[in-house]
Amino acid sequence: MEKVIDDGGLGRFRALIAAAQRIVVCGHVNPDGDAVGSALALQHWLQRQGKECTVVLPNTFPDFLLWMPGAKDVKAYRRHEAEVAPIIEQADLFVIADLNSPSRLMDIETLVMANPAPKVMIDHHMSPADFCDVTISHPEMCATAEVLCHLFWQLGELQQLAEAEAVCLYAGMMCDTGAFTYASTRAVIYECVSHLLARGIDKDRIYRNVYYTASLARLRLQGYMLYVNLRMRKNLHAAVMTLTNAERRRFGVKNGDTEGLVNMPLQISGTRLSIFLTEDTELEGLVKVSLRSVDDFPCNKMAEEFFGGGGHLNASGGKLYCSMDEALKVVDRALQKYAPLLKGQV
């Protein structure tokens, strides 16, 4: 296992937890399995330390994460503002998991930042912003849940984790690595997994809970997307897929049904980059962009330069305030700019 914080920092972390009574754990907008899993693992552990602890997210997470222990008690700020605002205002410590900048808190950014209570960041995104009292940031790690495994090890807690905590941490790592198929070659990841298995988790059941609980609508949507909406830019080794709100209505697409679609074109031999554009379901005139790549193609650079976003080397996102047609033109420009890299020339 690896140290994720120096001894002084660990002491400060312990002291902040010891002094706090009402802790809020936050995650990023459009929470994924790592955001929800990490936040819930922290919540279970903090509650076991006798703390009052609530997980507050800017908006709801996909239904396929609802099975996670504690998931039904998570507070999504959007649509429940009156209930959730006082919880944020009365917190005496924030643990901010799986995000690197206040802007990723989106709807709850203003409330969280207005509360002067101390803040701890636990994350694995690059370039962490300097807004927390303790920052535990490790971009080389596959998931925030992995960072937490190491942190619990440093605290002497890893071998005492409750099963629910281990389940949430395993789910977080599994979701951020496509079930350990990308960003997961470091040997120490499997040391973490070994410790979690020793806590009695059923990893095969966790896999099925996440990946084998689709609705018929989701499978039909996948078929339609691949057959009709997928455009291959073969000479660029790139794939572009779109999804409009009209199509969402036609297929009865639910929250979470689009999860993972962006990865599918990477199954096609030789594909290096997949771009997925989807009209936002809440804000008209907003197109959300997801990017996935293999090897060393820098999705995050493309996301920063063309889509007002960022992320990891192989998984990034952003947004465009325009129509789908205009968004496709931006994608064309991005592909042209990155053509030399995509074609494999230096």
Q: Which of 135, 110, 111 is nearest to 124 (CA)?
A: 135
Contact 303, 316 (CB under 8 A): yes
Burial group, residue 18, by CB count within 10 angstroms (0-12, 13-18, 19+): exposed
Name which of residues 64 to 103 contact Mn ion (CB under 5 A): 98
The C-alpha atoms of residue 279 and residue 249 are separated, in whole angstroms, by 12
Q: Which of 330, 270, 260, 248 is nearest to 290 (CA)?
A: 260
State which residue, 54 or 316, has the beta carbon closest to ligand 5GP.
316
Half-sphere exposure of 158 (CA within 13 A, CB side): 24
97 binds, among Mn ion, ligand 5GP, none (CB under 5 to 8 A by kind): none
Contact map string, positions 128 to 157, toward Mn ion, x by CB under 5 A: ---------------xx-------------
279 binds, among Mn ion, ligand 5GP, none (CB under 5 to 8 A by kind): none
Choosing from 318, 327, 331, 334, the residue that interacts with ligand 5GP (CB under 6 A) is 318
Which residue's entry shows tokens 């929470």? 31
Which stretch, 55-63, 73-81, 200-208, 309-317, contacts ligand 5GP (CB under 6 A)? 309-317
Name which of residues 264 to 303 contact ligand 5GP (CB under 6 A): 290
Name which of residues 30 to 89 contact ligand 5GP (CB under 6 A): 30, 32
Q: How far is the CB of 67 from ligand 5GP (least distance, A)?
A: 20
The C-alpha atoms of residue 322 and residue 338 are separated, in whole angstroms, by 22
State which residue, 119 or 312, has the beta carbon closest to ligand 5GP.
312
Does residue 176 bind Mn ion (CB under 5 A)? yes
Choosing from 164, 315, 334, 342, the residue that interacts with ligand 5GP (CB under 6 A) is 315
Helix-strand-coil percent breakdown of the chain, rounded to 5?
Answer: 45, 15, 35
Q: How far is the CB of 269 from ligand 5GP (least distance, A)?
A: 23
Which stretch, 85-93, 236-244, 307-315, 328-336, contacts ligand 5GP (CB under 6 A)? 307-315
State which residue, 199 or 272, has the beta carbon closest to ligand 5GP.
272
User: Reading across the β-sheet that carries 310-311, which strands appear in turn?
Assistant: 230-233, 238-243, 273-279, 287-293, 315-320, 310-311
The C-alpha atoms of residue 42 and residue 85 are separated, in whole angstroms, by 21
Interface residues with ligand 5GP (CB under 6 A) are: 30, 32, 125, 290, 309-312, 315-319
